[in-house]
Structure 1
């Protein structure tokens, strides 16, 4: 069973952050295990074919066998990556990994033979050498995977997936390898009207891959809504699911677990999105550095105040972060909580500020937020916790608002390129951009991100930037 990490009974929201973290991150360790398994498979393929070739034909056979393994390897890795040979299931159960890797090997062998036949290159292959190499590789692959079990156990423990059970007064559920915490002892309440509590829960869920909440029926809806924006696979225990056989649910130890949320992006998509963010933001900062320095100088010369305006906003997993902008308002009237949206003719805005806001130059320091990992180039725009639509706070207009936080906030987003930006003078102003944000969450692709980036360039100067 995974040991809890720094779990203590907590009562106040000012408790040190590290006291709320219940588990160390296993994502990097899983990646190390995946890489080790991949290296082991590659070694097995080269060693299997090389050994068979050398035994049958000496050095000449060894050279031919290594050539065959070079043809086989890219096909094998492609199939293995897609059939789950390197997955959590393979780490949890070594025999699952063995079965999938063997299936990938046999399919890749069949594919190479098929390609060689139609390319009329089969005469260049020693059928005996290729067949014996395949058999040797099957045996070596089996042996190598069995040896890797101890490495996987060493790096990830008995459970390579951090599962957290939050006991909030519901039925007891025992999941082998899961971490159990008491919501009452840790001061966790699904209060959707308290951003500080959401931040607290987000901190408790940091490094968690799946969370299961056991609570009375009256609190399930609140927990479900909270989990939707927590960037984690979340489930609420509901024994009725076991009797109804509902979709999007599972049964464990006689209890029904209702699937209510899932992280929008898998590991591969997160890596692709992060590479785009870092490469684009880094290049943009270098190219725009003369402009950034000029704007900073203009702001400083205007009233000798600070160049940057730093405001706490809510980001991925309902966690707070400090967002950077060029200061566009007078120092005395800066609204750090965002309680009052800027409006046309706003007296708080300076002369330099009016120009940089109308051209969106004031947003450029957020490129540093992107490099730091707090933000992405594309995603739902982060809002100050005091932001209002009409006379209501954003989340009071529509509780689906919290779902926006299942992805990193962005410099721009689908709502912005559709023109839904600026002050939210009435509730419909928020609803329009919320619909676009939720649409963006439904199906992420790198091509859509690139399209939004280019569309953003067309709307940098707009009549709602004031």
Structure 2
């Protein structure tokens, strides 16, 4: 996969003002298509992952039920039984995974693999018996229990797979389980790619349309039954309305300049980007390819913090947000009282900011300005000794206490605890919006914004009064996105109180 540093050269380091970009408008057909795909889907990898967990619990539960029914109440040998149950359940799931019994094909057509599933379950139980024999503990276990457990596991796993396959097929028909793809490029290359994808007997790809910068003479408006919905610039807006998972660039690799020009526009989106290698004469090492069915792709970029990573990060946010709310509740109550006594107006201040995928979100802070002077648009940044800031406001802004209500944003899901700090929708420097100063600025929004972030840990806190500050903050945010891990989040969270001691840029 191409690393993001290779795209940094597309981010301008200059301070020259850029012309204000015109707002992109989708045509009516593109709007209608985007509206069809507005709802979220269930990722096939998430569904198969959940099935792994479900079948592990199903096999383990079968063992425990037979144990309590036949062996009886827990006794001195209970630990042996529980260890055997957990070991065999884990081994069964591992063998099913190795045999690709959690693939989309297997989930949608359980009868074609039912014999293999039964054989693998029998193998896992046989291996358990062999392990018990070599450890000289096989005589500890009841043979009736083992046979009953195997029978119950086989029946429950087989039956649940048949029932769930019906549910999966219904979800597939309703568009609930699929990867939504857009073809970038048109003409013969796009047609060849689409035909190849449609020939794959089992894949989870739904092609939502096609975008190309070329006119209708060079790129027909309809290719293989799919309409050309607009230009690549319009694709950016389309992907922010529709929930698109995958962009497939159907442009020859040899057209390097055209490919790079398109990637320069597309990399700001939170999607997987693949370069079709189906019709190219160039040959790469096998490990360089990923596949949709048998169609080869070159991985350009992956969606950051996707699937199970997003689940882990969400759990992290919920746990630590609750801890933060509990720990800081006395400070928040005292701050609310102080604000109310200091000046007239509401305790909280609501502001529209850019969230994930450029969606607008409401971010809450303790009010630090006089109500009649508040600036929800943030067109004029707060400066040192700003007369709009109240007495209490100066204290809570310097100590970042005004940000504490954002723990509730993180708990409810509009923010993450750690991520690129969200900027106000109309935030400006020298009468220019931030995205007009920095090419690739919106790439910060490929992940959910955070209460704190890597840029703030490295000193970029407070007023962004120069183009260089905006550029460096963007660089740190992109570094965080590329190198994300739960440990990285925890490091930033731990370092945040320490870095808040530096109040030089906080006012």
Name the TM-score, length of structure 2 as normaliser: 0.69
How far has the Cα of 1:29 moved from its partner? 9.2
Q: 1:201 aligns with which of 213, 235, 239?
A: 239
How far apart in 2 are the matches of 1:21 and 1:320? 21
Counterpart in the other structure of 1:361: 401
Match of 1:114 in 2: 131
1:181 aligns with 2:209: yes
Aligned to 1:228: 267
1:349 aligned onto 2:389: yes
Task: Tell me how far apart the structure 1 counterparts of residues 492 and 129 of structure 2 sit (CA, whole Å).
Answer: 41
Deviation at 1:378, TM superposition (A): 0.8
1:465 matched to which residue of 2?
506
Given the superposition, is the C-alpha separation of residues 358 and 21 from structure 1 closer, same or farther in structure 2, using an over 3 Å criterion? Answer: farther
Q: CA deviation at 1:43?
A: 4.8
- Which of 334, 339, 348 pairs up with 1:299? 339
Provide the rounded CA distance (Å) in 2 between the counterparts of 1:444 and 1:142. Answer: 39
Q: 1:326 aligns with which of 366, 383, 389?
A: 366
What does residue 6 of structure 1 align with?
A: none
- How far did 1:256 drift? 6.7
The alpha carbon displacement at 1:456 in A equals 0.6
> Is the deviation greater in 451-460 or in 290-299?
290-299
Q: How much has 1:355 moved relative to structure 2?
A: 1.0
Q: Tell me how many residue pairs correspond in the alignment.
A: 444
**Cα deviations by residue, 1:32-53 (Å, 9 ceiling, x for unpaired):** 77656755665567769999x9
Deviation at 1:125, TM superposition (A): 4.5
Residue 74 of structure 1: aligned partner = 86
Secondary structure in 2 matching 1:263? coil
Contact 2:288–2:298 (Cα < 8 Å) also in 1? yes
Change in CA separation of 1:404 and 1:22 when aligned onto 2, cut-off 3 Å: same
Residues 1:259 and 2:287 aligned together? no
* 1:394 equivalent in alignment to 2:411: no
Match status 1:151 vs 2:167:
yes
State the Cα deviation string for residues 419-456 of structure 1 (Å, max 9, x = none): 22222333332333333222222333323222211111
Q: Choose which of 159, 178, 181 in structure 2 pairs with 1:164.
A: 181
* Pairwise CA RMSD: 4.8
3-state SS of 2:282 partner: helix
- Counterparts in 2 of 1:361 and 1:96: CA distance versus 1, 3 Å: farther
Cα distance, 1:68 vs. partner?
8.3
Q: Contact 2:273 / 2:301 at 8 angstroms: preserved in 1?
A: yes
247-256 or 387-396: bigger deviation: 247-256
CA distance in 1, matches of 2:481, 2:148: 50
Deviation of 1:350 after TM superposition, in Å, equals 2.4
Q: Distance in 2 between matches of 1:203 and 1:331?
A: 34
Preserved contact between residue 199 and residue 320 of structure 1 (Cα < 8 Å): no
Of 236, 246, 261, the residue aligned with 1:210 is 246
Q: C-alpha distance in 2, partners of 1:188/1:434?
A: 29
Give the secondary structure class of the aligned counterpart of 2:389. Answer: coil
Does the CA-based 8 Å contact 2:429-2:466 persist in structure 1?
Answer: yes
1:337 is displaced (CA, Å) by 3.1
The 1-side partners of 2:417 and 2:240 are apart by 22
Q: Secondary structure at the match of 1:439?
A: helix
CA change 1:349–1:90 in 2 (3 A) is farther
Structure 2: gaps of 5 or more residues: 1-24, 199-204, 213-226
Contact 1:198/1:318 (8 A) holds in 2? no
Question: Does the 8 Å CA contact 2:289/2:298 hold for their aligned counterparts?
Answer: yes
How far apart, in 2, do the equivalents of 1:350 and 1:60 lie?
Answer: 72
Contact 2:38 2:241 in 1 (8 A): no
- 1:124 to 2:140 alignment: yes
Using structure 1 for the length normalisation, give the TM-score.
Answer: 0.74
| Higher RCO (Cα < 8 Å, 6 or more apart) | 2
- SS in structure 2 of the partner of residue 292 of structure 1: helix
Q: Aligned equivalents of 1:280 and 1:293: distance in 2?
A: 19
- C-alpha displacement of 1:321: 1.2
Residue 369 of structure 1: how far off its partner (Å):
1.2
Matched, 1:312 2:352: yes
What are the Cα deviations for residues 187-231 of structure 1, in whole angstroms up to 9, with x where unaligned? 765549xxxx95663122x2x433446689787556534543433
Stretch moving more, 128-137 or 231-240:
128-137
Query: 2:282 — aligned with what?
Result: 243
